[in-house]
Amino acid sequence: MVTSLNNRPAARDFGYESAQYICARIQANAGGATVNKSVGMIPAGALVVNIYTRVATIFAGGTPALVVGSNSPAFNNLANPAEAQGSEDLMPLATFANPLTADTEIFASLSGGATSGDAYVAVQFLKPLA
């Protein structure tokens, strides 16, 4: 069975003047390895307005560091949420280029040797009139 075709996600875009989001769950690797999880693709021209995180199970082991971004391999140019259990509503970092000039894939990255725990990351964006 072919598994390598169409493996790059398409940018989510259902129209103008409406709030849209992409969302993913990120779980720690039992061995403590860094985990990079694609949250999704945001279309060119969109404005990223919020990053929501919900740490459902507290991260344990090492010194966990959760970041969100598009700059490989660090993935830390959009937000630096807390690793503690609970919810957060964050604004994009001031250095994040808005509006997006190209379709952009967003990642959540968990590093620092975390061996357990999981979180949900949602990135909200707006597609203004062209």
Where residue 9 falls among pLDDT bands split at 50, 70, 90? low
pTM score, whole prediction: 0.86
70 falls within a domain = yes
CA dist 35 and 25 (Å) reads 11
What is the domain count for the chain? 1
What average pLDDT does this structure show over 88-98? Answer: 94
Q: In terms of residue numbers, what domain contains 30? A: 19-126
**pLDDT score recorded for residue 130:** 60
For residue 85, give the nearest of 127, 106, 114 by alpha carbon: 114
12 falls within a domain = no
11 falls within a domain = no
Tracing tokens 């203004």 back to the chain, one arrives at: 128
Structure confidence by residue, pLDDT tens digits, 30-44: 999 999 999 999 999
**pLDDT score recorded for residue 17:** 73
Where residue 18 falls among pLDDT bands split at 50, 70, 90? confident
Q: Where are the beta strands (DSSP E) in the chain?
A: 19-27, 35-42, 47-60, 65-69, 86-90, 104-111, 116-126
CA dist 13 and 41 (Å) reads 9
